[in-house]
Structure 1
C-alpha cells in the first residue's frame, strides 16, 4: 500500500510539474496574480542576430509601454559597465590562454582571430576564454549583428523608463570562473574548427526563435556543443532558480518588462514553469 501511495504521489507530482511547462509558442508572456497590482511581462531574447532576422512586434512595443521599467539579465544602461567588464573579464590565479592550449592550438586560434576578427590574441591573453566567444560570433553570423537588449534599452529611453539588471555583471562574469578554463578554451577551438556546423546550428536556433518555439529552442540549446553542453546547471538552471525571488520582488515594486535569453523560458526548470510553481499566472501574449 505504501509503494502504491508513493507511486501515486510521484505520478501526481510529475503531472503537476509538466503542467507548468509552457505549451504555447510565444516569446512574450504576461505575469500576473500573487498580489501584483498590475501585470508585468516576460520576453525571450536572442542576444545577437542578423538585422534581416531582427523584429520588434507591435505587441511587444505595446506591452513595454504599459510598464514602468525594463529588467534585463544585466543593466545594459549602466555607464560603468565597460569599466566593470575590464575588471572582471580576466582569469583568476594568473592563468593565461597559452597555458590552457598547446602551442599549435594557440597559433591556430591567433591566426583565426587575426583573419576573422582582425585582432590578435595578445590583448585577450588573460581573458576568460568564454569572453572570446563574443567576437567570434561575427564569423558565425556573416553579418554585423544586432542586439535585442540594446533595442529594448533604446525603447526604454524613449518612454523614460529605468533599465535595471536581474543580476549584476560581477555575478554573470563569476559564472565563467566555475567552468574550468581548459574546457572553455576547448569550446573555442571546437567553434573555429567546426565553423560550418556552428553556422548551421545557429541558423536552426534562429529559425526556432522566429517560430517562437521556446521548448524546442531550450532543448537544442542544451545539446549545443558550442557553449552549453555540460554546463546547464551553472549557466541555466541555477540562474533561473536565483532569478525567481528577484523577479517577484521587482514585479511587486512596479510593472516591469523582463527580457532574458529565450533559452531560459522553456522546460520544467525554465523561468515560466518556476514562476507558475510560485503561484503566478503566466500566459502567452499574442
Structure 2
C-alpha cells in the first residue's frame, strides 16, 4: 500500500547548480536558450522533416511550414538544411512547443519531487538505483533527494535524453529565428509540459531505467532513422503497438491530448501568419497527428525535406 506520510522539506542544490539541472529537462522536450552558432562554412547538412502547408482557400503564394524535430542532439559537425533556413527567413513567426526561459527553481520543485512519501529506492532494483544515484550526484543531488524525485525526472540523469540540449534542432531553429528577427512564440507553457510529464505512469519511466541499455539503443536507432530520413521507421518505433497497449496513457497524454490543444492554435497561425512551426515529429505523424488533421480540413500538405522522390513515367 502506498505510504501517505508527510514528505520532509526538499533541500535544493546551490543556485549555481541549477542551470545544468534545468538543462536536463530537455529529455521531456524542454530547451535552453543559449546555443552555439547555427551554421559554419563547409559543414554537412543534417536531416530535417519539413512540410509545406497551404490552406484550403489559399493560392500557395505564402505557405506555412511544419517541421518535425527529434529531441536528441544533432551531430556537432552538421548544420541545419539551407532550405529550412531560407523558409524560416521568409516566415512571419517561429513557433515551438514551450519556453523555459522563465523557469525558476521555486517553480520547478513541485514538478520534480514526488509528494506521496514513497522512496524510489524501494521501486528500483539495486543496480538501477545505484546507477541512477551515481549520475544524479554528478549534478549535485544527494540520495535523499533522488529517492523522492518524480520518476520522469530520474530518467534525465541517465543519458536517456539528449546529452546536449543546445544542439537540438528545436533550439538551433529558434536561434536562427532570433538571429533573423522572426518573432518567436509557443504552443504551451513550460509548466504545462511539466504537468504532463507528472501525469505519465511511473512504471513507464522505471522500465526505461531498468532497461537502460535497451532504452539507449532504442534512442540511438531513432536518431539514426531520423538522420537518414526514414519516416516509416520512426513511426514504427515511436508508435510501437506493444508499448501503446501497455502504456496507453503515455501516448494519450504525450501526443494526442496535446495535439487536441494545439490544433486550434496551429490553424489560427496558418490562417493569419506565415508560420514556421517546429514540434516533435511524433506530433505530426500517425492517425492523430497534426498533418493528418490538417489534411482532413482541406489543407494541402507537401513534403519538402527529405525531398520526395522524383516521379517516373
Q: Is TM-score (shorter-chain normalized) higher than 0.5? A: yes
Q: Contact 1:214 / 1:262 at 8 angstroms: preserved in 2?
A: no
Aligned length: 252
TM norm structure 2: 0.69
Q: 1:39 to 1:117 in 2, by over 3 A?
A: farther
What is aligned with 1:44?
68
- CA–CA distance in 2 between the matches of 1:103 and 1:205? 28
Bigger shift: residues 250-259 or 103-112: 103-112
Alignment of 1:156-175 (within 5 A): 156-175=177-196
Tell whether 2:197 aligns with 1:176.
yes
2:173: which partner in 1? 152
**Shift in Å at residue 131 of structure 1?**
2.2
Alignment partner of 2:224 out of 202, 207, 210:
207
Instruction: Tell whether 2:159 aligns with 1:137.
Output: yes
Any conservation in 1 of the 2:55–2:300 contact (CA below 8 Å)?
yes
DSSP 3-state at the match of 2:188: coil
Q: How far did 1:83 drift?
A: 4.9
User: Hey, what's the Cα distance between the residues in 2 that align with 1:103 and 1:127?
Assistant: 12
The alignment partner of 1:269 has SS state of: coil
* Change in CA separation of 1:104 and 1:42 when aligned onto 2, cut-off 3 Å: closer
Matches within 5 A, 1:1-286: 27-35=49-57, 38-52=62-76, 54-76=78-100, 79-83=101-105, 86-91=108-113, 94-96=115-117, 98=119, 100-102=120-122, 105=125, 108-115=128-135, 118-119=138-139, 120=141, 121-137=143-159, 144=164, 146-181=167-202, 183-192=203-212, 195=213, 197-223=214-240, 230=247, 231-285=250-304, 286=307
Query: Following the alignment from structure 1 to structure 2, what is the Cα–Cα distance between the partners of residues 223 and 254?
Result: 35
Consecutive unaligned residues of structure 2, counting only runs of 5 or more, are 1-46, 308-313
**Structure showing the higher helix proportion among its residues:** 1
TM, length-normalised to structure 1 = 0.75
Long gaps (5+) in structure 1: 1-24
Contact 1:71 1:166 survives alignment (8 Å): yes
**Match of 1:81, SS?**
coil
Q: Deviations over 1:90-135 (max 9, x none)?
A: 356x23561x452763674244442587244544444322123233
Note if contact 1:187-1:227 (Cα within 8 Å) is conserved in structure 2.
no
The answer to which structure, 1 or 2, has the higher relative contact order (CA under 8 A, 6+ apart) is 1
**Aligned partners of 2:49, 2:188: CA distance in 1, in Å?**
21
